[in-house]
A and B are shown apart, each in its own frame.
Chain A
Amino acid sequence: MLKVQGIDVYYGGIHALRDLTFEIPAGKIVTLIGSNGAGKSTTLKAISNLVKCKGQILFEEENLLALPSEKIVGKGVIHVPEGRRIFTALTVEENLDMGSYLRKDKDGVAKDKEFVFKLFPRLKERAKQLGGTLSGGEQQMLAIGRALMSKPRLLMLDEPSMGLAPIVVQEIFSAIADLNKTTGLTVLLVEQNANIALQLADYAYVLETGSITIEGEAKALLTDDRVRKAYLGEA
């Protein structure tokens, strides 16, 4: 579905992504793990065309680099940015409406809103509350819910577990697994919490200083010695 082919990103003199190449097959959950500064978030930003980048990114054979960000959203490549970035001064429902900003099909939007409320019942309880008054976990649910309102075909999640209690992380990750199973949604998951990411994903790439060093079936990486040492905190 998505092919990233040899992209380079520079921040000033810093070479953040070096000839990065990877692939996401349709219907799968693919995770990108790595430590701080490895280039995980930058990769997502490159796909959304939020940073300048050289190389080629093909989404169903169409080069995304030629498109402005809002057109990429229109294609169904939806980015849930790091730190959630929900609209704090808008209500939960208005936040969800923002997700459907580019859509014209009112019936579909209403149906999707129902779907999001079913997936995260807590958002329904808080529909009229301001986004800024939600807890961290609820905000993450809202950020994912908002992304689902844009009719995603590829959902890119940047560190959804960040700053959340383990039990909330469990809840959110099982919702992602559900989504993938029931709707066949393709997910690109960027995580620092390698353990939970590898348990959820089908396929995994390990990113180190801007390029892929290890890749394989996620379950296989869970038992890979190099991964266990570096990212799972085991001796």
Chain B
Amino acid sequence: MRLIGLRGATLGLLIAIATLLGGPASPASADPVDDALARFAADKYDETDKAIEGLVAASAQNGQAIFEAMSAGRLLYDPESKTVLIKDAGGALVLAKTGDPAPQALAAKPLKTVRLNNRVRRSLEAASGAFALQAPDPQKRIGAARAIFKTREPTALPAIEAALAKEKDASAKQALEAAKAAIILARQDAPEADRIAAADIVAAVGDQDALAALRTLPANTPPAVKQAAEAGVASIERWLGVANVVQDVTYGVSLGSVLLLAAIGLAITFGVMGVINMAHGEMVMIGAYATFLTQGFIRDYVPALSGASLILAIPVAFLVAGAVGVLIERTVIRFLYGRPLETLLATWGVSLILQQAVRSVFGPTNREVQTPEWLQGSVSFLGVSLTWNRIAIVLFAMAVFFALMLLLKRTSLGLRVRAVTQNRRMAASMGIRTPWVDAMTFGLGSGVAGIAGVALSQIDNVSPNLGQSYIIDSFLVVVFGGVGNLWGTLVGALSIGVANKLLEPFAGAVLGKIILLVAIILFIQKKPRGLFALKGRAVEA
């Protein structure tokens, strides 16, 4: 609820903005910016308000910086000389008008901060918005229009209309139209037909803000307008219902990709060697630490490549984890072939050792891996918002998956691996060195786990326990998908990911996970060898 007084106070300001945007600025006798700035030094809220108004009217060159400093409490003035200064984020003093460094003499003086109250804050926000409505960057203009759409501040109407008249950019124009419609919808004095038309425009925006605009109409709204608004609410809710499912599915695919990355290496080793590698999660963890070290190395020695450090970490992680994998295969696993349960226990032991080793070297706390700039931020599409690094993981997982498929289908290593998978004894008698294939396969599976570590370092804490949180899920993916078939792993990972996210809204995260675990346990009863199980004699051999 807003106070009428506040509206009145900002009204003058916004008219000033309208003139500023609409007509040519009248040439001032004295510099209007100086005039306005001087008012800050009066240390009165009314004067401060007028100062903001003045700055907007004069379209002050440094206005945005002044407003930002003001809301952060970094706008200072010297009571003696009435000079207004900005203390920038680093603590240095600059002149408010020009942004030039302040003379030493001023810095020594007892400076005071420009004070704010709620009314001034509100003016400040509106002024920032008005500045943004005329910003050269269309994205900023859209942002400003969205903000007004959200607040539905009636006094912003003149500024919007002025901006609309000048607007050339199609999407900015659309945003401004929507903001205008939101204001008109709520206006008692607007013609009924305009308000009904406005309701449709608002409904077309289709997000939570639009829903709020349509729901919070004044009590004495005519029934026809109310009806139009209700129809709008219904259509938005329908759409949001769909959007929610879309969002859950998208998040599910994202989670599924993470699971796919973590599980695919396991699928290879399990499929080819029938070996359950309990230390697989630790390979992921090693990959994440390799990323951390690569990033640190590049930051310290080749800072020019910082942006690409994540890319460079991929081969490093692959090689490090792959080498550890080959080492484990050569020293432990090869002595245990044909004894899957013993292998399971021995690799569990290896996983304990690796965890503790990493804990001893890097400490038990989380290490931070930076997200490069090109992976920061998020995109919003049809009401579904996704961070870039999640999208990157989906793409990356698919790339890794298809690269592996290609490797297994097209290379000679792949041919040998498939031969050993299908019939170890026959492959051996045809001259394939199965121990070599085993070592390479294990290295490959571990290396892929290392690559998964690079990706996971972006969305999870890099700690010695990183691997443990994925290992059970990875097993379930492999077991669910069926052994020896990478497509099964893909389908398994994505279905578990999506099912997980679809269950969460109903059951909560933990209960959803429990339901999923129980469902998989039951599924395995039905199809003991997974979704894409092979049939026939080979399985029993």
- Report whether chain A binds chain B: no
